[in-house]
Amino acid sequence: MLDIINFTKSYVKDKKAVEDLTLHIEDNDIFAFIGHNGAGKTTLIKAICGIISFDSGDIIIDGVSIKKDPDYCKRAIAYVPDNPDIYKFMTGAQFLNFICDVYKVREDVRQTDIDKYAKLFSIEKNLSQKISEYSHGMKQKLVLISAFVRNPKILILDEPFVGLDPIASHTLKELMKDFCKKGGIIFFSTHVLEVAEKLCNRVAIIKKGKLLKCGTMKDIKGDSSLEDIFLELENE
């Protein structure tokens, strides 16, 4: 499980980026986290991943507080940012093996998984190339592979479809579904509301750092589209 409890974060005194936010994400959930630019999505995501601190509240990952055991929580999570910034001097294969070394992925399973995901994303022939030669889409595929080969408990994805071609996008959607069927959690931020509506079973909408709506996708959108609900809440 992933629990965000009364989370508050300020960058400037008396100006809260996120205020008193509480969310509960269950195993098997593909959870959409939606809001306009500057709503506080990335702030919360970076706090969940242990990249930034926060003022008050707590984040509980697999029953463990990130305040009490940040190392355990970071090992349980794989994070894919919206703009991957990775070591350009490495080859794709070197980068994936580096990530596997950092997270202590067994050598007897890592190559099988690297080969599997590289083929699924159609970059198996590019792993010997320097990352400096990769397009944005290839870098995105590489970072996604580095997340999946770790076999984490939770995937945190911030705009993961940006730069992906239609085939790769379809592949990622299927991998996300399979990951959650096996008990994983995906916490997923996107501006592509049509994708979120079709893919996610639960959704939260945030505006100016405050939670507006949270629930199952079916309950939140009713007979409308997610886009219609989002725009209605944004215009209130």
Q: For position 108, what pLDDT does the model report? A: 86
Strands 185-189 and 30-34, bridge-based pairing: parallel
- Does residue 233 carry a pLDDT above 90? no
CATH class of 2-234: alpha beta
Sequence-distant (6+) residues with CB within 8 A of 184 are 27, 28, 152, 153, 154, 155
Q: For position 17, what pLDDT does the model report? A: 92
One-letter amino acid of 67: K
Q: How confident is the model at residue 97 (pLDDT cuts 50, 70, 90)?
A: very high
- Does residue 131 carry a pLDDT above 90? yes
One-letter amino acid of 30: I
- Does residue 220 carry a pLDDT above 80? yes
Q: For position 139, what pLDDT does the model report? A: 94
Query: Comparing 169 with 37, which gets the higher pLDDT?
Result: 169
Q: For position 234, what pLDDT does the model report? A: 77
Sequence-distant (6+) residues with CB within 8 A of 222 are 229
Closest CA to 55 of 63, 45, 47, 46: 47
Q: How far is it, in rounded angstroms, from Cα 155 to Cα 138?
A: 19
Q: For position 74, what pLDDT does the model report? A: 92
Q: For position 176, what pLDDT does the model report? A: 96
Q: For position 162, what pLDDT does the model report? A: 86
Q: For position 83, what pLDDT does the model report? A: 82
Q: For position 5, what pLDDT does the model report? A: 97
pTM to 2 decimal places: 0.92
Contact predicate 55/10, CB 8 Å: yes
Residue given tokens 């980026």 in the structure block:
17
